[in-house]
Amino acid sequence: MKKNRRIGSRFLIGLVFLFLYAPIALLIIFSFNEGDSGAVWKGFSLHWYASMLRNRLIIESVYMTLLVSLLATVIATFAGTFAAIGLYSLPRRRRDAILTVNNIPMMNADIVTGVSLCLFFVAFFQFWGRFARWFNGAQTAFALPERLTLGFGTLLLAHIAFNIPYVILNVAPKLRQMDGNLMDAAQDLGCTWMQGFWKVMLPEIKPGIISGALIAFTMSIDDFVISYFTAGSSTSTLAMTIYGMTKRRVTPEINAVSTLLFLTVLVLLVIVNIGEIRQERRKRNASLQGVPLGEKLRRFFATRAGLYAKRGLTAAGVAAFVAAVLFLTRETQSIPVVNVCSWGEYIDTDLIDQFEAETGIRVNYQTAESNETMYSLLKSGGADYDVIVPSDYMIAQLIEEGMLSELNYDNIPNFQLIDPRFRNLSYDPENKYTVPYAWGTLGIIYNPTMIDGEITSWGALYDERNAGKVLLINNSRDAIGEALMYLGYSVNTTDESEIRAAYQVLDDASRRGVFQGKVMDEVFQTMEGGNAAIASYYAGDYLSMLENNEDLRYVIPDEGANWFVDAMCILKDAPHMEEAEAWINFIASTEASLANMDYIGYASPNAEALEQYPAYYEELYGEPMEPEIYDILVTPPEVLARCEMYENSPPDTRALYNRLWIQLGI
Amino acid sequence: MSKELIRLQNLCMAYDGETILNNINLYINDKEFLTLLGPSGCGKTTTLRIIGGFTTPVSGDVFFDGARINDVPPHKRQINTVFQKYALFPHLDVYENVAFGLRMQRVPDPNNKRGAKLSNEEIDRRVMEMLESVSLKGFERRRVDALSGGQQQRVAIARALVNRPKVLLLDEPLGALDLKLRKDMQIELKRIQQQVGITFIYVTHDQEEALTMSDTIVIMDKGSIQQIGTPEDIYNEPKNAFVADFIGESNIIDGVMVKDKVVKMYGRLFPCLDGGFAENEPVDVVIRPEDIDIVPVEQGQLTGTVTNVTFKGMQYDIIVDFRGFKWLIQTTDHSPVGSKIGIKIDPDGIHVMKKSEYSGMFGDYSSFSDEYDELNGADGAEGQGDET
**pLDDT single digits (tens) A440-489:** 999 999 999 999 888 999 999 999 999 999 999 988 889 999 999 999 99
**Are A635 and A657 found together in one domain?**
no
Does residue A200 sit at the B interface (CB-CB below 8 Å)? yes
What does the pLDDT read at residue A257? 83
The answer to whether the CB atoms of B91 and A204 lie below 8 A apart is: yes
Choose the closest CB to B89 out of A195, A200, A286.
A200
Answer whether residue A1 is part of any domain: no
Alpha carbon dihedral B159, B163, B164, B167, in 10-degree steps, equals -70
3-class secondary structure, A549: coil
Q: For A243-288, write each residue's pLDDT tens digit.
A: 777 655 556 777 888 888 888 888 888 887 887 777 777 666 654 4
Residues of chain A contacting residue B90, judged by C-beta atoms under 8 Å apart: 204
pLDDT at A351: 92
- Say if residues A561 and A442 touch (Cβ distance below 8 Å): yes
Q: Evaluate whether A343 touches A247 at the Cβ level (below 8 Å).
A: yes
Residues A396 and A525 in one domain: no
pTM score, whole prediction: 0.68
Residues A328-336: contacts with CB within 8 Å, 24+ apart?
A: A328/A63, A328/A64, A328/A66, A328/A67, A328/A70, A329/A67, A331/A60, A331/A63, A331/A64, A332/A152, A335/A360, A335/A361, A335/A362, A336/A360, A336/A361, A336/A362, A336/A576, A336/A579
pLDDT tens column, B149-160: 888 988 999 999
- Average pLDDT over chain A reads 86
Q: Is the pLDDT of residue A574 over 90?
A: no
- Using alpha carbons, select from B254, B383, B387 the residue that is nearest to residue B317: B387
**CA A43 to CA B144: how far, in whole Å?**
60
Query: Which amino acid makes up residue B121?
Result: E
Q: Which fold has domain B237-379?
A: OB fold (Dihydrolipoamide Acetyltransferase, E2P) (2.40.50)
User: How many angstroms separate the CA of residue B313 from the nearest CA in chain A?
Assistant: 41
- Residue A450 sits in the same domain as residue A475: yes
Query: Which residue, B291, B308, B292, B296, is CA-closest to B340?
Result: B296
Please check whether residue A67 lies inside any domain of the structure.
yes
Q: What is the pLDDT of residue A283?
A: 64
CB contact under 8 A, A188 and B52: yes
**Residue B159 to residue B279: CA distance in whole angstroms:** 58
The reply to whether residue B145 touches residue A182, judged by beta carbons under 8 angstroms, is no
Same domain, A586 and A569: yes
A180: nearest CA in chain B? Answer: B87
Do A470 and A357 share a domain, yes or no?
no
- Specify if A192 maps to a domain: yes
Instruction: Give the span between the Cα atoms of A573 and A559, in whole angstroms.
Output: 42
Which of helix, strand or coil describes residue B339?
Answer: coil
Q: Are residues A450 and A434 in the same domain?
A: no
> Could you tell me the CA-to-CA distances from A597 to A414, A437, A591, A633 in Å, in that order?
16, 10, 10, 9
Q: Are A503 and A656 in contact (CB under 8 A)?
A: no
Q: Structural domain tally of chain A?
A: 4
Specify whether A478 is located in the same domain as A398. no
B50: phi then psi, degrees, rounded to nearest 5? -70, -40
Give which of A89, A95, A189 to mutate to test B binding, by max B Cβ within 10 Å.
Answer: A189
Q: What is the ipTM of this complex?
A: 0.80
**CATH number of the domain to which A257 belongs:** 1.10.3720.10
Does residue B125 register a pLDDT over 90?
yes
pLDDT at B376 over 50: no
Q: DSSP class of residue B143?
A: B
Cβ atoms within 10 Å of B235's Cβ, excluding its own: 19
- Determine contact: B83 vs chain A, CB below 8 A: yes
Residues A204 and A112 in one domain: yes
Total Cβ atoms within 10 A of residue A62: 21
Q: Identify the CATH number of the domain defined by range B4-233.
A: 3.40.50.300
The answer to whether B58 contacts chain A (CB < 8 Å) is no
Does the beta carbon of A357 lie under 8 angstroms from any beta carbon of chain B?
A: no
In this prediction, residue B370 carries a pLDDT of 41
Q: What is the pLDDT of residue B373?
A: 41
Task: Tell me phi and psi for residue B12, to 5 degrees.
Answer: -130, 145
Chains A, B: CB contacts within 8 A come to 68
Give the HSE-up count for residue A552: Cα atoms under 13 Å, Cβ half-sphere.
Answer: 31
What CATH number should be reported for the domain holding residue A486?
Answer: 3.40.190.10
A503 occurs within a structural domain = yes
Would you state the pLDDT for residue B379? 40
Closest Cα partner for A402 from A432, A422, A425? Answer: A432
B121 contact A CB<8A = no
pLDDT at A314: 79
- What residues make up the domain containing A115? 51-138+146-284
Task: Residue A185: list chain B partners with CB under 8 A.
Answer: 81, 83, 87-89
Q: What is the pLDDT of residues A340-372, one digit of tens each?
A: 988 877 888 889 989 988 998 888 888 887 888
Find the closest chain A residue to B83 by CA distance: A181
Yes or no: say if B279 and B303 are a contact pair by the CB < 8 Å rule. no
B105 in reach of chain A (CB within 8 A): yes
- Does residue A489 sit in the same domain as residue A473? yes
Q: Which of B83, B118, B148 to mutate to test the interface with A (most CBs of A within 10 A)?
A: B83
Over residues B211-221, the mean pLDDT reads 91
Q: Do A508 and A574 reside in the same domain of the chain?
A: no
Average pLDDT of A638-657?
90
B157 touches A at CB < 8 Å = no
A344 and A279 part of one domain: no
Please list every residue in chain A whose beta carbon sits closer than 8 Å to the beta carbon of residue B163: 189-190
Q: Which 358-377 residues of chain B touch chain A by CB within 8 A?
A: none
Look at residue A290 and tell me whether its pLDDT is greater than 50.
no
Interchain pair A184, B85: CB under 8 A: no
Name the residue among A657, A240, A308 with its Cα closest to residue A484: A657
Q: Are residues A159 and A279 in the same domain?
A: yes
* Domain residue limits, chain B: 4-233, 237-379
B73 touches chain A (CB under 8 A): yes
